[in-house]
Amino acid sequence: MGKIFVTQPHLPPLDEFYPYLQEIWAGKTLTNGGPMHQRLEAELCDHLGVQHISLFANGTLALVTALQALRITGEVITTPFSFVAGAHSLLWNGIKPVFVDIDPVSLNIDPRRIEAAITPQTTAIMPVHCYGNPCDVDAIQRIADNYNLRVIYDAAHAFGVTRGGASVLNAGDLSIMSFHATKVFNTFEGGAIVSPDAKTKQRIDQLKNFGFVDEVTVVAPGINGKMSEINAAFGLLQLQHIERAIARRREIDAMYRRLLGDVTGITCVAPTGQDTANYSYFPILVGPEYPMSRDELYEFMRANDVLGRRYFYPLISSFPMYRGLPSAAPANLPVATALALQVICLPIYPAMTDDDVERVASLFSLSERCALVY
Ligand SMILES: *Cc1c(COP(=O)(O)O)cnc(C)c1O
C-alpha cells in the first residue's frame, strides 16, 4: 500500500497538452500577455462569473500587488488562521498586520471582533475564505463602509465558490486567487487578481509588468508578476477538466462525512454559507473526547502512510516575525489558538479511490483501539 498524500495535483492526460505546446512553439510568444494568457483570462472570467481577471506568476505576488494597487498603508486587519503568505504580503508592503480571532464554526475571521481592532492607522481588512468557506462578506462590507476601509479577500481556496447565486470572488474591492499545484485549479504555479472594473485591472496589469504603461513610460515601481504562456496553456487545459475533478472531490467529501460522522470526538468541519463548494480541503477537528490527541492521531496516520496536514498550525501569529505584535498574543486569539491544536486536513484529491478513502477512514476505528496501548 502506497502513501496517501493530503493532495495530489490534478494532471490531465499528457497527450492533450501537446497541441497547446505546438501552438506556443509556432507562435513564438512565450510570455508578456500572449494569446494563451489572454484566452485564459477570458475563459476564467466566463467560468467563474467575474468581470476582470489579471493572471499572475503566483498567488503571493498577486497579494503583494493587490495591496499596491489600492495603495494600502498603515495597518491591515487579518486572520492568523491561514497560510503565511497573507501576512507576509503585508510585511513586503511595509504594512503592520493586526490579527483578529476567528469564528469557531466557519474558521474565518470573526466580523464581531473586527471593529475593536480598528485604529486611526487601519486602512483595510484582508480576510481569507478559509477552506473555500465564504466569509460573512455582508457583515465585513458593512464595517468597511462605516470606517471607510478597503477589503481585499485572500480567495486562494475559493475557486468556483458561489454564494447567493454569484461568485464569492466579487465580494470586497479585490480578490486574489492561487493556482499553485496544491490548489483545486492549478497552473503548476500561478495566481490571479479579480477586479471590479477595467481601470483597476489596467493598473494591476501595469504593476505586474514593472509599472510599464507603454514602451517608454513607467508609472510605478512595479514587479515582475507575469504568468508565462506555458502556465496559461496548462490552465486552459485544466479548465476543461475542472468540473469532473470537483465532482469527484464532492463524492470523496460525502464518503468521509458518512464514514466519520459517528466517530466520537471527531468533528468534520461543515461547509457554511455557500451554494457551490469546491471541496478543496477536508478539515476535521480532534476534540478532547477523542482517545488520542491531535498530534498523536496525526503521527498515527503518518505511521500508516496517510499524510494529512495540520492546516493551519502553527498560526501565522506565532511565527517569529509576527509573535511580537500585540495582536499576536494567544489571549487575543483564543479560538484560533485552540482550533490550530485540533485541526487535521485529510487527503482529498480527484485521483483518490474509494479504497483510499476507506483506508483513511478505517484508521479512526483502529486508532480508537490503539489509543489504549499508544
Ligand atoms: C496557497 C495560498 C496562498 C499563496 O499562493 P501561492 O500561489 O502559493 O503563492 C495564499 N493564501 C492562501 C490562503 C493560500 O492557501
Segment 4-45, tens digit of pLDDT:
999 998 899 999 999 999 999 999 999 999 999 999 999 999
Average pLDDT in the chain = 96
The reply to whether the predicted model has a pTM over 0.95 is yes
pLDDT beyond 80 at 368: no
Residue 77's φ and ψ, nearest 5 degrees, are -85, 130
Q: What is the mean pLDDT of residues 273-291?
A: 95
User: What's the mean pLDDT in 198-218?
Assistant: 98
pLDDT-based confidence at residue 291 (cuts at 50, 70, 90) = very high
Q: Which atom in ligand 1 lies closest to the alpha carbon of residue 180?
A: 7
- 130 CA closest ligand 1 atom index: 13
Q: Is the CB of 191 under 6 A from ligand 1?
A: yes
pLDDT in the model for residue 10? 87
What percent of the chain lies above the pLDDT cut of 70?
98
| pLDDT at residue 113 tops 90 | yes
Q: Which atom of ligand 1 is nearest to the CA of 179?
A: 7
Q: What is the pLDDT of residue 367?
A: 72
pLDDT band per the 50, 70, 90 thresholds, residue 1: confident
pLDDT digits (tens, 9 = 90+) for 230-276: 999 999 999 999 999 999 999 999 999 999 999 999 999 998 888 99
Domains and CATH numbers, the chain: 4-237 (3.40.640.10), 242-373 (3.90.1150.10)
**C-alpha separations of 37 from 34, 140, 193, 315 in Å:** 5, 33, 14, 35
Given a cut of 80, whether residue 3 has pLDDT beyond it is yes
Look at residue 272 in the predicted model and tell me its pLDDT.
87
| C-beta 60 within 6 A of ligand 1 | yes
Residue 353 has pLDDT above 90, yes or no: yes
Q: Decide whether any atom of ligand 1 lies within 6 Å of the 83 Cβ.
A: yes
Q: For residues 241 and 248, give the distance between their C-alpha atoms in angstroms, rounded to a whole number.
A: 11
DSSP characters over 247-274: HHHHHHHHHHHHHHTT-TTEEEPPP-S-
* pLDDT > 90 in the chain, percent: 95
Q: Does the beta carbon of 336 sit less than 6 angstroms from any atom of ligand 1?
A: no
The whole-number pLDDT of residue 369 equals 65
Question: Residue length, the chain?
Answer: 374
Question: pLDDT digit string (tens) for 151-182?
Answer: 999 999 999 999 999 999 999 999 999 999 99
What is the 59 CA–ligand 1 centroid distance (Å)? 5
Q: Is 153 in the pocket of ligand 1 (CB under 6 A)?
A: no
Are 304 and 292 contacting, i.e. CB atoms less than 8 angstroms apart?
Answer: no
Q: Is the pLDDT of residue 374 over 70?
A: no
List, for residues 52-94, the tens digit of each pLDDT value: 999 999 999 999 999 999 999 999 999 999 999 999 999 999 9
Q: Among 60, 184, 227, which residue has the most ligand 1 atoms within 8 Å of its CB, making it the best to mutate?
A: 60
Per-residue pLDDT, averaged over 349-354, amounts to 97
- The residue whose CB lies within 8 Å of the most ligand 1 atoms, and thus the one to mutate among 82, 90, 178, 193, is 178
Ligand 1, atom nearest to 182 Cα: 1
- Amino acid 284: pLDDT: 98
Residues 370, 358: Cα–Cα separation, whole Å: 18
| Chain Cα centroid distance, residue 109 | 14
pLDDT at residue 128 is higher than 70: yes
